[in-house]
Amino acid sequence: MTANSSAPAKRAAVIINPAKPVDIDVRGLMAKHCENNGWGQPIWLETTKEDPGVGQAKEALKQGADVVIAAGGDGTVRCVAEVLSGTDIPLGLVPLGTGNLLARNLGMDVTDVEGAIEGALVGWERKIDVVRAVRNDPDREQFFLVMAGVGYDATIMADTDEDLKDKVGWLAYVDAGIRNLPGKPVKATIVIDGKSVVHRRVRSVMVGNCGKVQGGLEIFPDAAVNDGLLDVVVLAPRGKFGWFSVIAGMIANGKSKDTSVEYFQGKSVEITLEHNEDYQLDGDHEGEGKHVLMTIEPDALTIRMAAN
């Protein structure tokens, strides 16, 4: 008998969102790949509306999981990552959501569930940045991985029809975006790395850790998930045809002089609004607020995935 033959088998904890409709036998595939790779039976932990992943991730660590796999959408991934950040336990991704934005930004094939499972168990590891977002209205600290926003983009998340999203996917966000184009700007003060860069009326402030959002649209062209920087875009359309200037500015990647779209980078971003506006993290509407401080935490999270 070899020295390693009596060592306990590695175990994966799978945190799954049971509300996500899937046509794939995720449990059966996970059990098969664990057995094929010499792992023990996986630990299954289901999210709930009241606890979308944080409590389950803590339970996974308590049970000694060697990898914690988020099987769901970006909301599930974000909650699990919040617990794993700063630890040595890797996060595996089995994308089952509508956007699957982190997986897409990492170059994963979001249609290949078996490949994702195999990668989460025996793939290669890489470090990525996470972003700490602290609000004081109400007091709350959360993390995000892809992007956060206040104003128009968060209103889209709040007003997206869930039934339509199940039918047409990310196109449901387009529907919500068109319906909410009319709206009032809010006076905003934006401070990046301690320096005030914006103090005027805006419609939306988005802060990104990755570049691509729904539909493959690249909101933050210079963003990288491991560059130690936050990317910020401020949208401030003016007049009846202001949104055309916004579109033109985004196509030009902020290189035009039109202040309808402005881009910034930094390690910390503080946003203060005149009054409460919608607030979102990684596509999840998180209520309303008028102040948030976001700070990059470089290389805080380990991702395990198939090589691409």
**173: which residues sit within 8 A by CB, 6+ positions away?**
156, 157, 160, 165, 214, 215
Residue 122 phi/psi, 5-degree rounding, is -135, 20
Residue-wise pLDDT for 33-77, tens only, equals: 999 999 999 999 999 999 999 999 999 999 999 999 999 999 999
Residue-wise pLDDT for 210-221, tens only, equals: 988 766 778 888
Contact 26, 71 (CB under 8 A): yes
- β-sheet bridge partners, residue 280: 149, 285
The CA-atom distances, in angstroms, between 68 and each of 94, 210, 248 are 11, 22, 42
For residue 106, the number of C-alpha atoms closer than 13 Å in the C-beta half-sphere is 29
pTM exceeds 0.85 for this model? yes
Stretches where the chain sits below pLDDT 70 are 1-7, 165-166, 169-170, 214-215, 239-241, 244, 248, 251-258
CB atoms < 10 A from the CB of 111, how many? Answer: 9
